[in-house]
Amino acid sequence: MSSILITGANRGIGLELTRCFAERDWRVFACCRDPQGADALAALASGQKTVHVHRLDVTDPAQINALARELKDQPLDILFNNAGVKGPSPQGFGDTDVEAYLQTFRVNTLAPLKMAEAFVERVAASERKILATMGTIMGSLAENASGGYYAYRASKAAVHMEVRGMASDLAGKGIISVVFHPGWVRTRMGGDSAPVSVEESAAGLTRLLLRLTPKDNGRFYDYRGVELPW
Ligand SMILES: NC(=O)c1ccc[n+]([C@@H]2O[C@H](COP(=O)([O-])OP(=O)(O)OC[C@H]3O[C@@H](n4cnc5c(N)ncnc54)[C@H](OP(=O)(O)O)[C@@H]3O)[C@@H](O)[C@H]2O)c1
């Protein structure tokens, strides 16, 4: 049975990705900070027996390592670093709050790398060998012509760079490292005026994940499969 581990699976795009893969009979390791409060995920897991809920705050390396030990015999076809935060508000020039900025980096930048380090051999042991990380067009240097959102943009630009590094470092293991922009999506982060629904975004990402090949290693795609500039 194919398997995927998703962080931040209790709401938003992560929850919908969990649903998409569970409906395809994948084994889904759905991770969230607070399983007790994750009602929608618990409801999904009670109807779909292939969904396994795990507690994971991605900023806690001890929790990451404990989960990696728990899953030490489990190949992971896809490791999906989805969890993310927008960071402090406001984030204009002149607003920089150092601790809040660092916290944004802990979630958006450090956690995906720590997850990859902890689970790399589980991904390498799988059939598809995909290391997927949620970036954003707002982290594209080429596309930033409007400024603002310093902590969010910088944390995502940095995670994009990490994925480029892993695309080189892990290619020898056959791992396909990719970054995704999910669209501007109606979630708690994206807000009500976002044009893309979680269903549309997650369905697009799922289609894309299922057709990735080694030629996609080190690339940056939106949820429709359009390649984006770094
Ligand atoms: N929505 C958009 O328009 C948009 C656009 C571009 C990129 N993205 C990216 O897409 C990803 C998902 O975003 P979304 O729109 O679905 O946002 P969301 O609805 O706000 O969900 C964010 C998820 O991340 C989890 N999370 C945050 N901090 C965490 C931590 N320390 N440990 C574990 N989980 C943590 C949240 O869990 P809690 O419930 O515990 O907080 C939640 O499950 C993010 O990486 C985001 O940057 C979103």
Write the pLDDT tens digit of every residue in 44-91: 999 999 999 999 999 999 999 999 999 999 999 999 999 999 999 999
Q: What is the pLDDT of residue 50?
A: 97
CA 190 to ligand 1 center in whole angstroms: 9
Q: What is the pLDDT of residue 69?
A: 98
What distance, in Å, lies between the first and last C-alpha atoms of the chain? 34
- If one residue of 33, 86, 108, 222 were mutated to test the ligand 1 pocket, choosing by the most ligand atoms within 8 A of its CB, it would be 33
Q: How far apart are CA 208 and CA 222, in angstroms?
A: 9
pLDDT class of 176 with cuts at 50, 70, 90: very high
Give the chain's mean pLDDT: 98
Q: What is the pLDDT of residue 40?
A: 98
Q: From 150, 114, 155, select the one nearest 135 (Cα to Cα).
A: 155
State which fold the 3-222 domain adopts.
Rossmann fold (3.40.50)
Q: What is the pLDDT of residue 83?
A: 99
Q: What is the pLDDT of residue 150?
A: 98
Cβ of 60 closer than 6 Å to ligand 1, yes or no, is: no
Q: How far apart are CA 87 and CA 110, in angstroms?
A: 14
CA 216 to ligand 1 center in whole angstroms: 24
pLDDT class of 138 with cuts at 50, 70, 90: very high
* Tokens read off for 169: 């470092």
Q: Label residue 130 exposed, middle or buried (CB < 10 Å: 0-12, 13-18, 19+).
A: buried
Going by DSSP bridges, is the β-strand pair 219-222/78-81 parallel, antiparallel, or unpaired? Answer: unpaired
Q: What is the pLDDT of residue 75?
A: 98
Atom 9 of ligand 1: nearest residue by CA position: 134
Contact criterion met (CB below 8 Å) for 26 and 9 = no
- Work out the widest C-alpha separation in the chain, in whole angstroms: 51
Residue 189 CA to chain centroid, in angstroms? 14
Q: How far apart are CA 60 and CA 126, in angstroms?
A: 25
Q: What is the pLDDT of residue 201?
A: 99
Contact criterion met (CB below 8 Å) for 136 and 179 = no
- If one residue of 189, 199, 220 were mutated to test the ligand 1 pocket, choosing by the most ligand atoms within 8 A of its CB, it would be 189
Q: What is the pLDDT of residue 41?
A: 98
SS3 call for 178: strand
Contact criterion met (CB below 8 Å) for 149 and 91 = yes
* Tokens read off for 34: 């607070």
Q: What is the pLDDT of residue 215?
A: 98
Q: What is the pLDDT of residue 70?
A: 98
